[in-house]
A and B are shown apart, each in its own frame.
Chain A
Amino acid sequence: MTLWLRVRRARTCVAVALALAASLLLTGDLALPIPSLRVGSTLALPFAFLLPLAVATVVAYALGAGDPRAEAVACRPMRLLDTAYALAVAALALGACGLLWAADVSDTAPAAGRNALGYVGLTLLGRRLVGPHAAPILPVGFVLLTAMFGVRPGVERDWWAWPLAGASDPVAWLFAGAFLLLGAAAALAGTGADR
């Protein structure tokens, strides 16, 4: 197990999850301009909503960091272990963000933590849909899509653009959780004999 955690870059993953929280402290309410094509202007996308992409990327990196052929014929339940590992990293990121919120030092931290859950879910889904090399493209692409098309004139945002929602939006939490579960289910379900 110790070796497996080393192979899965556990230290790096923990560091990135904690760095997410530290970055939230540093960046505060900073928002980056991004084109919102349906509104017809630039949207100020909170940096805190982008930062959790680092967590999703490091999870994708860690899950692909082993020996794919040896792991493909392993006797141990590698899919289960890997899925649990991804969920644990997402939970750690959420927990770190939760601590910031509890300490009343960051208002955007809960939303960032929520997005970390959703992005990790999308990454797990991406591993199944587009393969392990391209998996993080799914959450990155989804964030861009929501920023460009998820806001309409006169409407704060579309229902599906959950990464842009504030922390108090229960539907966004539902979506993020649903994506995490969907990703976990996709990672556990297999059609081949790869794990």
Chain B
Amino acid sequence: MAVQTILRISPAAWLGPILALVAMGYARIIYPATYDPYPLALTSVAGWTVSVIGPTVAAFGAWEGGRLHRAGWWGLPHARPAVVVAGASLAPVLVAGLGALGAAIAIRFADAGVLAWPDLRVVGVETCVVTAQALLGFAIGLRLRPVVAVPAAFLLMFTWMALPAAILPVWLDFPTGAWAGCCAIDSDLAPRAVVSAITVVVGFLVAALVLLRQPFARIQFGLASLAAALGIATGLWLVRGMDSNPTVPRDPSVLVCAPGPPEVCVWPEHRSRLATAARVVAKVAPTWLAAGVPLPARFSEEWSEVLPSSTGRVTIRSDNEEEIVLSLARGVLPPVPPCALRSEVPYFGFEARDYVIAWLVDVAGVPPDRYASTHVNGDKILGTVAAVRALPPDEQRAWLAGNLAAMRACGVAPPLEPAG
């Protein structure tokens, strides 16, 4: 179709720029999973705009399908395959939809000041989502009157994209392909979520192809609904029981490290903070060792359900040395045992953590109120830490050992207040 014709007749051509502006506005107001310049997180946040772009292109597609419906063209014996005829009609719709997606990604990267390629997995999935919804909208427009098809395509797709986000469990949302919860810097997009979204896309594409098939019989509505429902059901089955975000731990092989001991490893996006972090570790590690603190062989930003005990988990959020000390203090603590998440035996380690962190911070030479002042029991913690710090080193070690033991196991009461 000639560009001039498209510009004259296609609502997608007239409204495409407005859709792009809305997508850009939307991309800027969604909270990202991280404020780090992590391309995956930026792409995912921008990709969340498919929840608006998808239904809109479905409506545009329904209008284009309705045009052929009214003209009675679809039933003609075309020499070209049906998908090619549909593709020609949908070209301006796809340009509008994918253009809006591209604009959303571009504005998000520009706002973050990141000059990098967006995550191609997310871009690929969102492209498939937009294409499938446009084609399904087109097929609906071809089979229903435009007066019903356009609002129906929009509302059905909008409900599909928005409803799962409004109900629990959280993983119901993952097959939509809109993943605002992806990804914190230590996590990566879960392959299950990708496969799940693609499964739904396939379901929608099959539904569209069923509706496009000539000659048309009413049973095709039933078959198309079945295909879409099967796609959604399979997509949901693939992500059932997943955590609150569609993520998996990030590949630790990309970590950049400074030698130790203890070694410090950060994600590439934090590379600029590595030198400062290594300097702080070199300063506080001997102090903590002298105070009897069991140090890990490695401080690392990597995340996994089960980290080796030789690795202390840290997050180097900034260049601020006091914040780095605080993070290292957290990294020194033992991980929360699985029994803590069950309720058979009480776990006291959470309470002990606050006291021990404040003590570690104080030992490292940072005023403990930097940590405790934001805490609800701040005064009590500060008072206890001052009391502990006044004790002889051996008694401080015993206090620390008692509290660490309470953190490692359930049912162990921590000696929060120093004896005597």
Contacts and interface: CB of A to CB of B under 8 A. Distances in A.
A touches B in complex, CB < 8 A: yes
B22 interface: yes
B26 interface: yes
A68 to B, nearest CB: 12
B145 A61 contact: yes
Contact of A35 (B29, B151, B163, B167): B29
- Among A50, A132, A134, residue most surrounded by chain B Cβ atoms (within 10 Å): A134
Interface string B119-163: 000000000000000000000000001111011101100110011
Contacts of B165: 32-33
B148 A57 contact: yes
For the complex, would chain A's binding face be called helix, strand, loop or mixed by DSSP majority? mixed
A136 B151 contact: yes
A133 B146 contact: yes
Contacts of A60: 147-148
B147 A34 contact: no
Contacts of B159: 32
A54 B159 CA distance: 13
B52 A32 contact: no
Overall SS of chain B's interface: helix
Interface in A8-66: 30-37, 39-42, 44, 47, 50, 53-54, 56-58, 60-61, 64
Contacts of B154: 140
A136 to B, nearest CB: 4
Contact of A140 (B22, B70, B151): B151
A64 B146 CA distance: 11
A42 B29 contact: yes
A123 to B, nearest CB: 9
Contacts of A57: 147-148, 151-152
A136 B29 contact: no
Contacts of A50: 155
Given A32-B159, A50-B155, A134-B146, A148 B22 contact: yes
Contacts of B163: 30, 32, 47
B191 to A, nearest CB: 26
A61 B147 contact: yes
Interface residues of A, number: 31
B123 to A, nearest CB: 20
Given A50-B155, A53-B155, A57-B152, A35 B25 contact: yes
Given A32-B165, A133-B66, A140-B155, A41 B146 contact: no
Given A42-B29, A53-B151, A33 B22 contact: no
A135 interface: yes
A42 B30 contact: yes
A76 B203 CA distance: 48
B166 A31 contact: yes
User: Counting chain B CB atoms within 10 Å of each CB, which of A32, A36, A37, A140 scores highest?
Assistant: A32
Nearest to A59: B147
A45 to B, nearest CB: 8
A185 interface: no
Interface in B15-48: 22, 25-26, 28-30
A167 interface: no
A40 B45 CA distance: 14
Contacts of A64: 145, 147
A134 B146 CA distance: 7
A31 B166 CA distance: 6
Contact of A137 (B29, B51, B151): B151
Given A60-B147, A133-B147, A135-B147, A37 B166 contact: no
Contacts of A32: 158-159, 162-163, 165-166
A37 B22 contact: yes
Which residue, B22, B147, B152, B166, has most C-beta atoms of chain A within 10 A? Answer: B147
Given A37-B22, A54-B155, A140-B151, 10 more contacts: A32-B158, A32-B162, A32-B163, A35-B22, A39-B29, A40-B28, A42-B30, A135-B147, A136-B151, A137-B59
- In the A-B complex, the 3 residue pairs with the smallest Cβ-Cβ separation, listed nearest first, are A32-B162, A35-B26, A136-B151
Interface of B: 22, 25-26, 28-30, 51-52, 59, 63, 66, 70, 145-148, 150-152, 154-155, 158-159, 162-163, 165-167
24 contacts: A30-B166, A31-B166, A32-B158, A32-B163, A32-B165, A33-B165, A34-B52, A35-B25, A35-B29, A37-B29, A39-B29, A44-B166, A54-B155, A60-B148, A61-B148, A64-B145, A133-B70, A134-B146, A134-B147, A136-B148, A136-B150, A137-B150, A140-B150, A140-B155
